[in-house]
Structure 1
Amino acid sequence: MSREWSFAGARGQITAREWPNGSARYVALLVHGYGEHIGRYEYVAERLVAHGAAVFGPDHQGHGRSEGDRVVIEDYADVVADLHRVDEYARERHPGLPVVLIGHSMGGMIAAAYAQRYRATLAALVLSGPVLGSWREATSLLDLPEIPFSPIDVSTLSRDPEVGERYQADPLVWHGPFKRPLLAALDRCLKQIDSGGRLGDLPTLWVHGEADSLVPLPATRAGVETIRGDDLTERIYPDARHEVFNETNRDEVLTDVTGFIDRVLAR
């Protein structure tokens, strides 16, 4: 059973969620993607709790139940700072446990930026369909005088149609257009990550759907190669779309994630 709490973030009140585990052997920090919220990760969190994790994650500013103009992020350093507050809170509740950072899509970008800054404090990093390198599908909209409203094709999320149906019906998901401040900040963040240095010896797992048309594989691969450290594990799933944690083979994906974590914690 999860619980919510709130704290004063960099730009307004942030709502975060905890999936407790009284016998946790590690902490998992979940970082959600653009336009969504941490509540969409219930199944992921339950799998991680069953594996031995205490799980924590925030709704980013302007997302989900957190304050802020909807999907407006002016500087991703603020989001990293909010995530750090959640990290500190988790460590206070579970002192001494290793921390695994797991980010999906835009959350993968945020997790990569976080890992570049706080690498020495993390046991491992998991990147799911991360926005890295470039995301011209979104940032090219900055070249237009007005951002067009192009609703997401929910069939690009997963081969499971129920995933798209739930996404479309979710009132906490943003269903409107991109906002210019977020796109500009995202473009700056990607460039900062590219110049922010490699991940060194931080164990990193990268999982991605081969048929991901929202965050295409080639651009992400270039970004991963730019920052990768000495310990990278890659899993590309044939025919899988963007949300591999919600795909028809999600149990295979999450087994790969927990197996990776086991290997890291056994060292």
Structure 2
Amino acid sequence: MDETDLQFEGHEGTIVGRRWQRDTDGADGPSGGDPTYIALIVHGYGEHCGRYAHVARRLVDDGAVVYAVDHVGHGRSEGERALIDDIETVCEDVHLLEGLARGEHPTLPLVLIGHSMGGLIAARYAQRWGDGLACIVLSGPVIGTWAPLDGLLAADVIPDVPIDPAVLSRDPAVGQAYLDDELVWHGSFKRATLESLRHAMGNVRASGPVDDPLLWIHGEEDRLVPIAGSRIGWRDLKGRHSSAKSYPGARHEIFNETNQDEVIGDVVAFIHEHVPQPVA
């Protein structure tokens, strides 16, 4: 798998991302050297797209060319750390990424995969530009209600409560890698970011269902974004071509869970339902 950097000017400065694709000799994957679809991965709050390299590898092995960016204020992109003033403009940055990907592969169908805050972004994106997508996957999305949000915003001063790595996965190595990752934000939430999340959640509720193929997946033991709150949002968002699956015992980062092979396999199977596959 080849991994290359990319960058473009977003709404608040330079956005840095990555492209993953097959080796140039075409040895990887089931259909030679030519990709059969595009996948955009949208990461969550405080992290960066490099944490999804293993997901990208599985998708590349399946025939995808994969694109992802670090959101404004995240990872290697410009902007104040962990500050997002408006989810709508982040969606527009992702739309620029889509344009870049389609410019390089104009005939390929496109799949959108978002996790956590990225799931909220993907949900809103699907409401705005879903007609151009083959399918959308929401992993542990911040939709519906999010219990910690109102409590944090009600405080005069946002308490210093960084994300506990233990809530991410049953695999302790995942939490340790998260702590050791210098590109991850380990500080407290910023009020403007929380307000933008609340506003975007309201926009998703107000904008109604997505009739394009949509999959919601969630860990049943997710204590960071509890499944009950997301279920409320799913009732408003799901359309005629929606499906859902939850994973008993799994925590928030289901792509990094002990059953990650099952989760990623379910995503690939869903993609296969909506993206034409090459004839062997």
Tell whether the structures are fold-level matches, with TM greater than 0.5.
Answer: yes
User: 1:139 Cα shift?
Assistant: 3.8
Code of the residue aligned with 1:175 in structure 2: it is H
Aligned positions of 1:130-141 closer than 5 A: 130-141=141-152
- Confirm whether residue 14 of structure 1 aligns to residue 15 of structure 2: yes
Match of 1:78 in 2: 89
RMSD over aligned Cα atoms = 1.1
Aligned partner of 2:119 in structure 1 is 108
Alignment of 1:31-110 (within 5 A): 31-110=42-121
CA distance in 2, matches of 1:85, 1:241: 32
Q: Distance in 1 between matches of 2:114 and 2:70?
A: 13
Residues 73 and 79, structure 2, Cα contact 8 Å, conserved in 1? yes
TM-score in terms of structure 1 length: 0.97
Choose from 250, 260, 275 the match for 1:250.
260
Residue type of the alignment partner of 2:51: R
Mapped to 2, the partners of 1:220 and 1:140 lie a distance apart of 17
| Partner residue, 1:184 | 195
Aligned 8 A contact 1:211 1:241 in 2: yes
Rounded Cα–Cα distance in structure 1 between residues aligned with 2:119 and 2:150: 17
Post-superposition offset of 1:153: 1.7
User: 2: distance between equivalents of 1:8 and 1:77?
Assistant: 16
Aligned to 2:160: 149
Which residue type is aligned with residue 73 of structure 1?
I
SS of corresponding position for 1:41: helix
For 1:220, the equivalent position in structure 2 comes to 230
Residue type at the aligned position of 1:47: R
CA displacement 1:109-163 (0-9 Å, x = unmatched): 0000000000110000001000001213134211100001113221110000100
Residue 203 of structure 1 corresponds to which residue in structure 2? 213
Aligned residue pair count = 266
The DSSP-based 3-state class of the residue aligned with 1:19 is strand
C-alpha distance in 2 between matches for 1:75 and 1:39: 23
- The answer as to whether partners of 2:162 and 2:189 remain within 8 angstroms in 1 is no
Matched, 1:260 2:261: no
Aligned counterparts of 1:151 and 1:101: Cα–Cα separation in 2: 28
Does the 8 A contact of 1:11 with 1:78 survive in 2? no
- Distance in 2, Cα, partners of 1:138 & 1:19: 34
Tell me if structure 1 keeps the 8 A contact 2:220–2:247: yes
Give unmatched runs, 5+ long, in structure 1: none
The Cα shift of 1:74 comes to 0.6
Name the counterpart of 2:27. Answer: none
1:63 Cα deviation after fit = 0.3
Cα distance in structure 1, aligned partners of 2:215 and 2:267: 8
Q: In structure 1, what residue type is equivalent to 2:253?
A: E
| Identical positions, percent | 50
Task: Give the TM-score taking structure 2 as reference length.
Answer: 0.93
3-state SS of 2:199 partner: helix
Cα displacement string for residues 75-127 of structure 1 (whole angstroms, at most 9, x for unaligned residues): 11110110001000001111111100000000000000000000110000001
What is the CA–CA distance in structure 2 between the aligned matches of 1:210 and 1:141, rounded to whole Å?
A: 23
SS in 2 for 1:7: strand
Q: How far did residue 266 of structure 1 move?
A: 4.1
- The amino acid of 2:50's aligned partner reads G
Q: Distance between the aligned counterparts of 1:138 and 1:5, measured in 2?
A: 33
In 2, Cα distance between equivalents of 1:4 and 1:20:
12
